[in-house]
Structure 1
Amino acid sequence: MAPIPLFTSPRALSPFCSLHSSFVLHNPQSSNPEPFKKSLLATFCPEPVACRASRRPPASETASLPTADPSVVEAEGTGAAAPSPGERFLEHQHARARAVLILKQSGSKEKKKNKRGKAVSSSLEVCCYGCGAPLQTEEADAPGFVDPEIFELVDIVDFNGSFLARIRDLAGANPIILVVTKVDLLPKGTDLNCVGDWVVETTMKKKLNVISVHLTSSKSLVGIAGVISEIQKERKGRDVYILGSANVGKSAFISALLKTMAKKNPVAAAAHKYKPMQSAVPGTTLGRIKIEAFQGGGNFFDTPGVHLHHRQAAVVHSEDLPFLAPQSRLRGQSFPVVSKSNLTAADNVGLNGFSIFWGGLVRIDVLKVLPQTRLTFFGPRKLQILMVPTAEADEFYHKEVGVLLTPPSEKLRELWPGLQSVRQLKIKFEDQKRPASDIAISGLGWISVEPFGLGVGQNEFVDCKGELHLDVHVPKPVEIFVRPPMPVGSGSAEWYQYQELTEAEEELRPKWYY
C-alpha cells in the first residue's frame, strides 16, 4: 500500500526551480576553508578536514594519562615515540614520490605508466588535513576515516543522467536522504504516490543506503518543509554544502529553502534578501557562496556545479542551453500521429521504416515494432520532433540540422560534431496494458515505448510477448538509459504495479514523502 503523503495541498508560492545535488555537513568551528577544489570528491570536503586517526584527544583525556619518566629512555620508534598512523602514511607517500622521481630521471619504460597513475591519484583523492591520508568512509580504524551525513538531490526530468556517479564512493554504507525535485513539471494527472514508489524501486537497484525519499518542487514549494525538517534533524549544528551537476538549480533550491525557513527563522529571513543568483547558463556560481541560515550557528554553502560529460549540456554550445531547460509542465508528444478513427485501420503501417528526430540531438530509427507501437516524447517543448522515412534520414539531417533541427542553432552548425554514437536496442515486452520501458537521454528527457499504444481491435489477435528493435543516435559521449517506465500522466495509476513485500521487507524499504 502506498504511504500517506506528508503534504497534499501544494500552493504555487515561489519561482521555478530544478535540482540534483548533495548536502554534506561539516563542523562550523573548524579552521578557515581552503579554496574549493574542482574534483567531485573534493566538493564534499571544502574545508580542511582531519580524519579520526589524526585528531588529538581532548585535554580531559590526556590529563589522566601517566607522565613519562625522564630517566627511562625508550628506543626510537617505539612507545611514546612510535609514529602515528598518519606519519606512517606520509612516510609511505614520500617514498612513493621519490621512487617516481628516480624512474623519471632514469628514463625507464614504466615512466608513463607510473606518471599516469600518479596523476589520476593526485587529481581524484582528497586527503586528511592532519595526516595526509585519502579520506574514506569504510574502515573506521584506518587513517582518513570520516563520517559524513549526506543528502542527495535528483532532477526527476533527468533522473538517470543527474546522479553523481561517485556518490557511492564517498557515502559508502552511510545513510543517504534522496530529494527529488521538479515534480511540478510532471504531466498533468500524475499520481505522486506511483512516482515515489518508482523512485524507490529504481534507487534500490543502485545499491545505495537510502533511508527516505522526498518529492519536491522549488516552484510550488511542495515537499520543501519536509526537507527542512530532515536537515534540521540531521545537521546537529554543522554546515550544509549544496552540491550537484552544472545547471540543475542549486541556487534556486536554496532560495526555496530560505523562503520557507524565513517564516519562523529571522536569520533565514535576512539571508533570503541576498539569495544566490539563478541562471539557465551553467557556471553562474563561480565560487562557494556562504549563506547564514540557521539560528545558533551553521551555514548553507552554494557551490559551483559539477560538469558531467555524459549529459547533453556537455556537447551543446552555451548559447543553445536554454533549449534544454523545460519551462512549463511536460506534455508528451506521441508518434505516429493518427486520428481516433484510424487507430485500427487496415492500412496503418505504424512506425516501421521511419526515423524520428528530436531536435538535432537525437535520432531514433524504428527497425522492428508492432503496428500498434507508439513512442511518446517527454522533454523541453522548444525542440521540434519530426518523422521521415529512414531511407531519407541522412540527407534530411544534413540539410536541416541548425534550421528545423535545433539545437544546434544555424550559426553554430559548422561546429556541430553530429550524431556520432549509435546504440542498438532490443526492448522486450510482455504486457499489453503498460509501456515496455523508457529510453532516457541523459540531460534531455525520455521516450516512453508502448508496444500497444494505439490499441488493439476487438476481433484482432496479438501476441503479448515479443521484442522491439530500435537504433538510437546521439552525440558522443551522451549516455542512453533503458529503464522501467516512469508512471506519469492520468492513466499511469491504472497500469502501475506496486511491489508485493513482506513486513520485514517493508520495514527495510525507504519511505517516500511529498
Structure 2
Amino acid sequence: MKEEQLSLAAQSCAGCGVKLQTENAELPGFVPEQAVVREPAICQRCFRIRNYNEASSVTVDQNEFLKLLSSVATTDSLVVHIVDLYDFEGSLISGLQRFVGNNPVLLVVNKVDLLPKSMNLNRLRNWVQQQAKSEGLRTLDIVLCSAKRNIGFEHVIEALDRHRKGRDVYVVGATNVGKSTLINRLIKDYSDLERELTTSRYPGTTLDAVHIPLDDDKFIIDTPGIVYPTRMTEIVPRGFLQSLLPDKPIKPLVYQLNDQQTLFIGSLVRFDFVEGERQSFTLYISNALNVHRTKMERADALYEDHQGELLGGPSREELAEMPAWTRHSLRVPRGAKKDVFISGLGWIQVNGEAGALLDLYAPKGIKVLLRDSLI
C-alpha cells in the first residue's frame, strides 16, 4: 500500500485534473484505496458523475476559490450565482462583480419553498434585487426556485436558454445553498452528459472545477462550494447541522415581549429586547431548534446552568469547542420594518413600529446585521 500511496502522490484525476488523495472523502481528489489501481484513475466525485449523473459538493476555502474565480473575467461566459434565500446575505459571494468582469450574472435564488406559501413572489424578487444592488452586484436576471422541490426550475432552464448565447456557464455558490442539487438537475435537463461520457474522457480543470459538456461544444463549469466561516452552518458540530437546515416550510414563531426580556435560540444565540414598547417578534428559524424565554436579569444564570440541556443543543462539550459569544447592539428606528439576520441560523422580524434597542449574542465571527424585512 505504501508503494501505491507514493505513486498516487504524482497522480491527477483523469476526469477533473485535481490531485488524487485517499485520506479525506470531504476534500477534492478523494479516491478509495481499492480504486487507486484503476486505469484511468478518477476521483470519487467524477466517478459519481460518470456513473450516476450525480454532482457531489466539494468545498474549498475562500482563497482557493478566489484564485479559481479570478480567471472567469478573462472568459466570455454566463455566470450563474446560486444563493440560499434562507441565508441570503450569508451565501452571497461578496465582491463577485470584480472577479467576473463584464460577464453577465444570473442570480438563482434557491429554497423559496421554505417561505410561507402566501409570500408574494414579485415582492420577493424586488427585495432580492435591492439587496443584491446594495452589495454591489449587477444582475442580468433573477430567478426564484427550489431545486429540491422542483419549483420554478423550468424558469432556470428558460433563463439559461435566453441569456447563454452560445457561451460557457460558470456555476458558483457557497456551501449548503443547494448547488449540487441544482447542478444535478441541469445535468439531467440541460446537458447531453450521458452520450459524452460513454465516448470520451471526462473533461475538467484543476481545483476541482468540473466541466459538464453541452451539445454545442460548450460547458457548464461546476466550481467548488466556497466556505464562509461567518455562517453558523460552518461552525456547528456536523452532527447538529441538520437541526439548523430546515427541509420543509418554516413555521414562524411569534413572541410578544416586554423590554428586559430574553429569547434563547437553542444554546447558539441569545436575543435581548433591551428597550422599547411592548411588541411582537417573529422568528424564522428551523423548527428543530428550541426557543426559551426568560427575563434578562436571569439570562446569565440560566445559560450557565442549562446550556446544551434545557436550552437545547449543541451539547455543553460541543459548545466549548465553538467561538465564544460576542455582543451586537442594534437600534431599530421608529417606523422601520427590519429583520435581525443571523447568518446560517435565520432571522428575527421586528414587528412593532415604535423602535427598539436590541442586543444579540452569537459566536464570534458570525455575520449579524439589521436589514429591511424580507416578509
TM over 0.5: yes
Aligned: 1:356 with 2:356: no
Higher relative contact order (CA 8 A, sep 6+): 1
**Shift in Å at residue 238 of structure 1?**
4.4
Aligned: 1:226 with 2:147: no
**Shift in Å at residue 174 of structure 1?**
4.1
Q: Of 325, 342, 345, which aligns to 1:444?
A: 345
Aligned to 1:159, the other structure's residue is in SS state helix
**Shift in Å at residue 217 of structure 1?**
1.0
Which AA in structure 2 matches 1:446? W
Partner of 2:314: 408
Partner of 1:332: 252
Which AA in structure 2 matches 1:483? R
Aligned: 1:479 with 2:367: yes
Q: How far, CA to CA, are the matches of 1:154 and 1:201 in structure 2? A: 15
Q: 1:405/1:468 Cα in 2 relative to 1: closer, same or farther (>3 Å)?
A: same
Aligned: 1:427 with 2:332: yes
Check conservation: 2:340, 2:348, Cα contact below 8 A: yes
Aligned: 1:43 with 2:44: no
Q: How far, CA to CA, are the matches of 2:232 and 2:188 in structure 1? A: 31
**Shift in Å at residue 44 of structure 1?**
2.4
Structure showing greater Rg: 1
Check conservation: 2:77, 2:167, Cα contact below 8 A: no
**Shift in Å at residue 291 of structure 1?**
3.4
**Shift in Å at residue 288 of structure 1?**
4.1
Check conservation: 1:258, 1:271, Cα contact below 8 A: no
Per-residue CA distance 1:298-340 (angstroms, 9 max, x = gap): 333433321102111232122221121111101110112xxxx
Q: Of 184, 195, 213, which aligns to 1:255?
A: 184
Q: Of 136, 144, 148, which aligns to 1:207?
A: 136
Check conservation: 1:361, 1:475, Cα contact below 8 A: yes
Aligned to 1:157, the other structure's residue is in SS state helix
Aligned: 1:152 with 2:72: no
Aligned to 2:305, the other structure's residue is in SS state helix
Q: 1:175/1:268 Cα in 2 relative to 1: closer, same or farther (>3 Å)?
A: same
Q: 1:152/1:165 Cα in 2 relative to 1: closer, same or farther (>3 Å)?
A: same
Partner of 2:38: none
Partner of 2:53: none
Q: How far, CA to CA, are the matches of 1:441 and 1:317 in structure 2? A: 17
Partner of 2:45: none
Report matched runs for 1:482-501 at 5 Å: 482-487=370-375
Aligned: 1:469 with 2:357: yes
Partner of 1:291: 212
Q: 1:299/1:147 Cα in 2 relative to 1: closer, same or farther (>3 Å)?
A: closer
Per-residue CA distance 1:20-57 (angstroms, 9 max, x = gap): xxxxxxxxxxxx96768852322326xxx6xxxxxxxx
Q: 1:206/1:412 Cα in 2 relative to 1: closer, same or farther (>3 Å)?
A: closer
Q: Of 299, 303, 320, which aligns to 1:397?
A: 303
Q: 1:472/1:260 Cα in 2 relative to 1: closer, same or farther (>3 Å)?
A: same
Q: Report sequence identity in percent.
A: 29
**Shift in Å at residue 146 of structure 1?**
4.9
Check conservation: 1:259, 1:269, Cα contact below 8 A: no
Aligned length: 311
Partner of 1:76: none
Partner of 1:375: 281
Partner of 2:43: none
Partner of 2:294: 388
Report matched runs for 1:114-153 at 5 Å: 137=73, 146-153=75-82
Residue ranges of structure 2 left out of the alignment (5+ in a row):
1-15, 20-27, 29-59, 198-206
Q: How far, CA to CA, are the matches of 1:290 and 1:404 in structure 2? A: 49
Aligned to 2:282, the other structure's residue is in SS state strand
Check conservation: 2:82, 2:179, Cα contact below 8 A: no
Partner of 1:461: none
**Shift in Å at residue 157 of structure 1?**
0.4
Q: How far, CA to CA, are the matches of 2:316 and 2:366 in structure 1? A: 21
Residue ranges of structure 1 left out of the alignment (5+ in a row):
1-31, 50-134, 138-144, 273-285, 337-349, 453-465, 488-514
Q: How far, CA to CA, are the matches of 1:370 and 1:271 in structure 2? A: 65
Q: How far, CA to CA, are the matches of 1:226 and 1:422 in structure 2? A: 42
Check conservation: 2:324, 2:363, Cα contact below 8 A: yes
Aligned to 1:483, the other structure's residue is in SS state strand
Which AA in structure 1 matches 2:111? K
**Shift in Å at residue 233 of structure 1?**
4.0
**Shift in Å at residue 392 of structure 1?**
0.9
Q: How far, CA to CA, are the matches of 1:271 and 1:331 in structure 2? A: 44
Q: 1:354/1:165 Cα in 2 relative to 1: closer, same or farther (>3 Å)?
A: same
Q: How far, CA to CA, are the matches of 2:361 and 2:166 in structure 1? A: 49
Q: 1:271/1:367 Cα in 2 relative to 1: closer, same or farther (>3 Å)?
A: farther
RMSD between aligned residues: 2.8
Which AA in structure 2 matches 1:217? S
**Shift in Å at residue 408 of structure 1?**
1.7
Check conservation: 1:369, 1:451, Cα contact below 8 A: no
Which AA in structure 1 matches 2:269? V
Q: How far, CA to CA, are the matches of 2:311 and 2:259 in structure 1? A: 22
